[in-house]
Structure 1
């Protein structure tokens, strides 16, 4: 699959809408699309009013006494955080976590060390074709700090850190992702996950209240709907999607989009 360059997210998203050949697995899709780059020039946080260096990740305290085995399995991603300028609308996002005994090192070699893999599926909410897209990422885990996961690739600068901020293993989980670049702004994102397609409002409020301390503006925490999600398996589709001149609707060659009302 062709990787997506995170330094030009919106232009790449436009290209992505024209060709699903650009769907990428691993950290490139997870962080470049969901961990949106924080481009705010001001060093003053509008969330807390304190001075914040947007190049640096916030200090994070992961949940204590974390039990990885209880966290594994299927989750719905019910809300996510992205910057206001580059927010993308997703739907039907699900994740499955599994435990591993190895991870892939930066040079492509296998490192025999504890890890956790997330396979995820999702759609773009405004895609009239309703295509299910997929990706995966594996993090390395230090068993002395099991709620802090790390991922690195040669195609990226720095280490990508993921933290389990809090969880009730059978109902919900709150994840924060951040990475610092050698140059430019950090990458920052947050996910609220649920074992069911929705969470009670009081639980959502409780989890949202935890985010501002990590420079997350809750005004830009967006819901991910799960109302119209088919059960067909997601797959990488390399058929190009074309947009006709004067139209904003993507279509695939050879597929009929004629709708006969009343039949």
Structure 2
């Protein structure tokens, strides 16, 4: 028991700028018949659950297929006046569930869940990620993305409702500043 408490205390600073909840990760439904090729390209972050690695503005992600079948992911944000890109790799671990991708931004870290819950490929997408911590609590991320920097209120409301229907708490969902990009 002491080890568990000690471990949790060590992990709390790592998740301080994240959204974490008690218990294991939920299992939301993902986009049926997901087509990766239609999903590729640029997506702009409209709203998100807090993430320590995303503190800037003008946040966007670009997805491109590599020759080896992996996906090149380049996330860009403007932070403290500087454009800061970071490159990673996404994979589809199970071709039977192509909407459940894994993404990593370091050779030293395992792939994290990147599940496309919904997309129409041309306007918006809803993405979810969750990592269990010893089945005691979980760290989760959610993003509402758009093919343009701004989406209609109705589109954002629909995306928020989808997250709620999948039992994902949107209390801390916040808008990303896409002005002046």
Cα distance change on mapping 1:204 and 1:151 into 2, 3 Å: closer
Report how many residues are paired: 170
Post-superposition CA distance 1:105-163 (Å, at most 9, x none): xxxxxxxxx43232110134xx3xx122221221220222110112477855x762111
1:228 aligns with 2:169: no
Post-superposition CA distance 1:199-240 (Å, at most 9, x none): 0111110000011244433231111111122xxxxxxxxxxx
1:135 aligns with 2:86: yes
Q: Is the 8 A contact 2:117 2:126 kept in 1?
A: yes
Q: Specify the structure having the higher radius of gyration (Cα).
A: 1
Q: Please show how residues 142-161 of structure 1 align to structure 2 within 5 Å.
A: 142-151=94-103, 155=108, 160-161=112-113
Distance in 2, Cα, partners of 1:169 & 1:80:
19
- Structure 1 segments, 4+ long, off by >6 Å, are none
Q: Which has the higher contact order (CA 8 A, sep 6+)?
A: 2
Contiguous gaps of at least 5 residues in structure 1: 12-32, 41-53, 103-113, 230-263
Shift of 1:98: 1.1
The residue that corresponds to 1:97 in the other structure is 63
Cα distance change on mapping 1:160 and 1:171 into 2, 3 Å: same
SS at match of 1:146: coil
SS at match of 1:190: strand
TM-score (norm 1): 0.56
Let me know the Cα RMSD of the aligned residues. Answer: 3.0
Q: Please show how residues 80-91 of structure 1 align to structure 2 within 5 Å.
A: 80-82=48-50, 89-91=55-57
Contiguous gaps of at least 5 residues in structure 2: 1-9
The residue that corresponds to 1:120 in the other structure is 75
Distance in 1, Cα, partners of 2:147 & 2:168:
23
Higher strand share: 2
Shift of 1:63: 0.7
The residue that corresponds to 1:199 in the other structure is 151
The residue that corresponds to 2:121 in the other structure is 169
Shift of 1:183: 6.9
